[in-house]
């Protein structure tokens, strides 16, 4: 911890930045929507929140690089200190007034995530984790569920809506988990689903083809809450790594990975 004292102070400031700016999402009125792809959207609010958070982060940490979903992430030094921001994770939910979206910010040092912040403005829940210090929701310690078997679990399976070519794989995965678990869920915001695993509301979550800003903060929160995260089909890009993610409460991890490998990854 001594090693990261300065980073921890910065992390605490960043939490307040995310809360202050993120809460504006709740007050947002009709705003302009632009299509980045057939089923991939960006709204005025994504851009406004990103601009404001990036501006504040530059003030409090001028030496940090910044990766963010709604900007061009080129010529960055990914080997040092950086932030990874998704100004709204769950943009499609936001557009449809389905109130499950998160503002996700990860603090990274030499390729390792040291801090994770996911703020859910619609429920005013602030999920945080600093490496080695546990995971919290609104300052209360959280931990993963104690479900021991996949057959007793509630499992979330993402559909990766921006990549329709892999729809078969997503729906085979859904069916596979549905056949075994109590039931499946799909919230529509990877960062929120990861926080739900961390707090025991879900026992596991998996999705193919996420972007680094979807999972960087949430993955640390899961790990610090006692859960386990496995990345699959990692693809390095100039701004980070795309990956499939399997996040569980740890107890059901091997069973879940086995199911994924046997029934889904062959698709």
Binding mask 172-191 for ligand IPD (x = CB under 6 A): ----------------xxx-
Contacts with ligand IPD by CB under 6 A: the residue count is 17
From the list 252, 224, 250, the residue with the least C-alpha distance to 114 is 224
Residue 35 vs 74, nearer CB to ligand IPD: 35
Phi first, then psi: what are they for 53, rounded to 5°? -65, -45
Provide the pairing of β-strand 81-89 with 65-68.
parallel
65 touching ligand IPD, by CB under 6 A: no
90 touching ligand IPD, by CB under 6 A: yes
d(CA 262, CA 247): 17
**How far apart are CB 74 and ligand IPD at their closest, in Å?**
20
From the list 56, 82, 59, the residue with the least C-alpha distance to 68 is 82
C-beta separation of 46 from 91 below 8 A: yes
Which residues of this chain interact with Ca ion, rule CB under 5 A? 69, 86, 88
d(CA 57, CA 85): 11
Position closest to ligand IPD via CB: 190
Q: Which does 224 bind (CB under 5 to 8 A by kind): ligand IPD, Ca ion, none?
A: none
d(CA 231, CA 244): 6
Stretch that binds ligand IPD, among 57-65, 145-153, 157-165, 245-253 (CB under 6 A): 157-165
Q: Which does 7 bind (CB under 5 to 8 A by kind): Ca ion, ligand IPD, none?
A: none
DSSP E strands in 138-203: the ranges are 140-142, 154-157, 183-185
Q: Which of 7, 65, 89, 224 binds ligand IPD (CB under 6 A)?
A: 89
Residue 24 vs 133, nearer CB to ligand IPD: 24
Give the orientation angle of helix 190-198 with respect to helix 212-224, to 10 degrees. 0
Proportion of the chain in helix, strand, coil states, percent, rounded to 5:
40, 30, 30
Three-state SS string over 66-120 comes to: EEECCCCCCCCCCCCEEEEEEEEECHHHHHCCCCCCEEEEEEEECCEEEEEEEEE
C-beta separation of 136 from 128 below 8 A: yes
Stretch that binds ligand IPD, among 21-29, 48-56, 138-146, 153-161 (CB under 6 A): 153-161
214 touching ligand IPD, by CB under 6 A: yes
**How far apart are CB 41 and Ca ion at their closest, in Å?**
9
Q: Which does 73 bind (CB under 5 to 8 A by kind): ligand IPD, Ca ion, none?
A: none
**How far apart are CB 191 and ligand IPD at their closest, in Å?**
7
Q: Which does 214 bind (CB under 5 to 8 A by kind): ligand IPD, Ca ion, none?
A: ligand IPD
Q: Which of 118, 197, 210, 252 binds ligand IPD (CB under 6 A)?
A: 210
Site residues for ligand IPD per CB under 6 A: 69, 86, 89-92, 158-162, 188-190, 207, 210, 214
């Amino acid at each position: 911890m001594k090693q990261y004292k300065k980073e921890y102070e910065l992390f605490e400031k960043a939490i307040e930045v995310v809360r202050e700016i993120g809460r504006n999402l709740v007050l947002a009125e009709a705003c302009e929507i632009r299509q980045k792809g057939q089923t991939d959207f960006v709204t005025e609010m994504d851009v406004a929140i990103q601009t404001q958070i990036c501006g504040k982060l530059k003030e409090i940490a001028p030496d940090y690089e910044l990766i963010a979903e709604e900007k061009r992430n080129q010529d960055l030094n990914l080997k040092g200190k950086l932030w990874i921001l998704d100004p709204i994770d769950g943009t499609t939910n936001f557009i449809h007034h389905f109130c499950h979206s998160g503002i996700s910010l990860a603090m990274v040092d030499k390729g390792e995530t040291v801090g994770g912040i996911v703020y859910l403005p619609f429920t005013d829940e602030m999920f945080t984790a600093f490496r080695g210090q546990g995971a919290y929701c609104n300052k209360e310690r959280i931990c993963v569920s104690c479900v021991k078997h996949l057959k007793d679990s509630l499992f979330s399976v993402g559909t990766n809506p921006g990549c329709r070519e892999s729809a078969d794989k997503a729906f085979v995965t859904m069916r596979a988990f549905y056949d075994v678990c109590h039931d499946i869920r799909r919230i529509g915001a990877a960062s929120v689903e990861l926080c739900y695993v961390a707090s025991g509301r879900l026992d596991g979550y998996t999705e193919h083809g996420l972007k680094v800003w979807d999972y960087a903060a949430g993955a640390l929160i899961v790990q610090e809450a006692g859960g386990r995260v496995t990345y699959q089909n990692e693809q390095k890009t100039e701004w980070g790594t795309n990956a499939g993610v399997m996040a569980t409460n740890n107890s059901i991890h091997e069973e879940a990975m086995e199911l994924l490998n046997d029934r889904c990854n062959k698709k």
